Structure 1
Amino acid sequence: MAGRLAGRVAVVTGGAAGIGEGTVRRFHAEGAKVVLADLQDAAGQALADELGPDALFVRTDVTREEDVAALVDTAVDRFGRLDVMFNNAGIMGAVGPIDATRLADVDVTIAVNLRGVVCGMKHAARVMKPRRSGAIISTSSPAALLGGVGPHVYSAVKAGIIGLSNSVAAELRPHGIRVNTIVPGAVVSAMTAGVVAGGADDLAGAEAALGRTALMDRPLRPADVAAGALYLAGDDAAFVTGVVLPVDAGMTGAGGPSPYTSGRFEEPTALLEAGRRAETEGRGRSW
């Protein structure tokens, strides 16, 4: 049985670890030829070697337009086309109080997390428009939508990705190209482990730390985000463009518990004026 991306070619930036690695593995398993881009040479080459001839590692700095242009050209030269561009590379970037923020750190955060996405969109569109088909996906964050869950500049650029994607979706729709944003919650990954655990290599510590605050029965893993990216990349999303897909256990849409379904509200009723409750059901009109 053919996979959902059989015959397609995908580029995944930040593809050597975390969400990127999970997506590379899922796209490959679904039949795609995958070009993974990263600055992590050893991890990227090892993943490509593991997956075989339908995977290729290309060392890429997404802040350098010439690198991104060469990445796209390499995908086309090696595999003949480009169907999916997943702009996933990102860093946490500048951290600290706003009144002490170093502008050099701001610049690198913007360069990787937003300018890199612009470059990816530009060069993907360059080769997708003549074929009149393609899917462009970019990784944002709940920090784009909620205050207090990410560093300041990270939050700003992740919000910028949503605005950028929606604007580009309107432009590229007539060319048969879909442009969408995916919003993962906190994922068990090296980047998250570097923040919540003993270091970037402490994935077990990240799993444990995120498990303690998970909104569902376990923490979010790269494979969960890859499943969302697969949907946006494939034919099931043929009429889906300009959307924000949260893969966050409801963090951005249902962040808190439901307070009126338990405790003193466990028995169903209706709250009326001045705190009066509706009478017990079964005696006709109860209010």
Structure 2
Amino acid sequence: MRLTGKTAIVTGGASGFGAGIVRKFTAEGARVMIADLNIEGAKDLRAQMGDHAIAQKVDVSDGASVMKMEQAALDAWGHVDILVNNAGVTHLPTPMERVSEEEFDRVVAVNMKSVYLTARTFVPLMKDRKSGVILNIASTAGLSPRPRLNWYNASKGWMITATKTMAVELAPEGIRVNALCPVAGETPLLKSFLGEDTPEMRAKFLSTIPLGRFSTPQDMGNAACFLCSDEASMVTGVAMEVDGGRCI
């Protein structure tokens, strides 16, 4: 019960890695807001979590929607201890010059602008309490980019740098900021990463991972729980690889 008494928001929490983090956090005693554009999925997961969870519809790329999420959290708990910026999108594997401007703008808005918007909204609350933890879900794509996912790779590299600069600025305020860098996993984005989800494409991708499997929501939940718990009180500014050795 490492998170007993803690309150946490997990964006993109209705499915994939986000749902794995929600499940682990509630199992460890936290009260969790499942924040997602897919409100029905968030409500379904909340029903499984019982009284420890609440559901909130949010568009993380929209400032007004993020502010509504903040107000809902304050109404429910009065404060927020942990913020997990998990919501993310990608474009299909495409030569960089053929990615449409609309796709590019969406990647920037959801993967990058959202971190600014949640920081603008929640950092003042954490500063007032002189405590808090922010966890950004980046990717091995930001450390070891793969061809044809150029602008997604770049957005995750940006997130890693944002994590480090947030960490060094907010450390005197008692706020820790870290990132997780998973390899691809069994999430709604897997097909987008592979281009086509076939046994052959999966085998080709898995051959690049020394441990021979994808990241799972459970892997992410376990790593997130550690970084957001008091056990990691001396850890800030790291981009932890949860990738089975892919980046070695």
Whether these two folds match at TM > 0.5 is yes
Judged with a 3 Å threshold, the aligned counterparts in structure 2 of structure 1 residues 102 and 149 are, in CA distance, closer, same or farther, namely closer
Judged with a 3 Å threshold, the aligned counterparts in structure 2 of structure 1 residues 129 and 10 are, in CA distance, closer, same or farther, namely same
Unaligned runs of 5+ in 1: 255-287
Q: What is the alpha-carbon distance in structure 2 between the residues aligned to residue 33 and residue 108 of structure 1?
A: 30
Q: Which of 209, 224, 238 does residue 233 from structure 2 map onto?
A: 238
Deviation at 1:251, TM superposition (A): 1.2
Deviation at 1:171, TM superposition (A): 1.4
Aligned residues: 248
Structure 1 consecutive aligned stretches of length 4 or more whose deviation exceeds 4 Å:
204-214
Judged with a 3 Å threshold, the aligned counterparts in structure 2 of structure 1 residues 7 and 154 are, in CA distance, closer, same or farther, namely same
Q: Does 1:219 align with 2:214?
A: yes
Judged with a 3 Å threshold, the aligned counterparts in structure 2 of structure 1 residues 208 and 188 are, in CA distance, closer, same or farther, namely farther
Judged with a 3 Å threshold, the aligned counterparts in structure 2 of structure 1 residues 24 and 150 are, in CA distance, closer, same or farther, namely farther
Judged with a 3 Å threshold, the aligned counterparts in structure 2 of structure 1 residues 217 and 155 are, in CA distance, closer, same or farther, namely closer
Q: How does 1:8-19 map to 2 (within 5 A)?
A: 8-19=6-17
Deviation at 1:193, TM superposition (A): 3.8
Q: What is the alpha-carbon distance in structure 2 between the residues aligned to residue 107 and residue 6 of structure 1?
A: 39
Unaligned runs of 5+ in 2: none
TM-score normalised to structure 2 length: 0.92
On the 8 A contact 2:93/2:193 being kept in 1, the answer is: no
Q: Which has the higher contact order (CA 8 A, sep 6+)?
A: 2
Q: Which of 3, 24, 32 does residue 22 from structure 2 map onto?
A: 24
On the 8 A contact 2:84/2:135 being kept in 1, the answer is: yes
Deviation at 1:218, TM superposition (A): 3.5
Residue of structure 2 in register with 1:117 after alignment: 115
Q: CA deviation digits over 1:172-217, x for unaligned, max 9?
A: 1111000111101111112114544877xx9x99987865654215
Which amino acid is the alignment partner of residue 218 of structure 1?
R
Q: Secondary structure at the match of 1:232?
A: helix
Judged with a 3 Å threshold, the aligned counterparts in structure 2 of structure 1 residues 208 and 169 are, in CA distance, closer, same or farther, namely same
Residue of structure 2 in register with 1:43 after alignment: 41
Q: Secondary structure at the match of 1:26?
A: helix
Residue of structure 2 in register with 1:130 after alignment: 128
Greater helix content: 2
On the 8 A contact 1:5/1:30 being kept in 2, the answer is: yes
Give aligned-pair identity as a percent.
33
Q: How does 1:195-210 map to 2 (within 5 A)?
A: 195-196=193-194
On the 8 A contact 2:93/2:192 being kept in 1, the answer is: no
Q: What is the alpha-carbon distance in structure 2 between the residues aligned to residue 210 and residue 121 of structure 1?
A: 34
Which amino acid is the alignment partner of residue 148 of structure 1?
R
Q: What is the alpha-carbon distance in structure 2 between the residues aligned to residue 25 and residue 207 of structure 1?
A: 26
Judged with a 3 Å threshold, the aligned counterparts in structure 2 of structure 1 residues 205 and 56 are, in CA distance, closer, same or farther, namely farther
On the 8 A contact 1:96/1:151 being kept in 2, the answer is: yes
TM-score normalised to structure 1 length: 0.80
Q: What is the alpha-carbon distance in structure 1 between the residues aligned to residue 105 and residue 33 of structure 2?
A: 27
On the 8 A contact 2:84/2:134 being kept in 1, the answer is: yes
Q: What is the alpha-carbon distance in structure 1 between the residues aligned to residue 67 and residue 231 of structure 2?
A: 29
Q: Secondary structure at the match of 1:81?
A: coil
Residue of structure 2 in register with 1:52 after alignment: 50
Residue of structure 2 in register with 1:251 after alignment: 246
Judged with a 3 Å threshold, the aligned counterparts in structure 2 of structure 1 residues 94 and 195 are, in CA distance, closer, same or farther, namely closer
Q: What is the alpha-carbon distance in structure 2 between the residues aligned to residue 43 and residue 115 of structure 1?
A: 24
Residue of structure 2 in register with 1:167 after alignment: 165
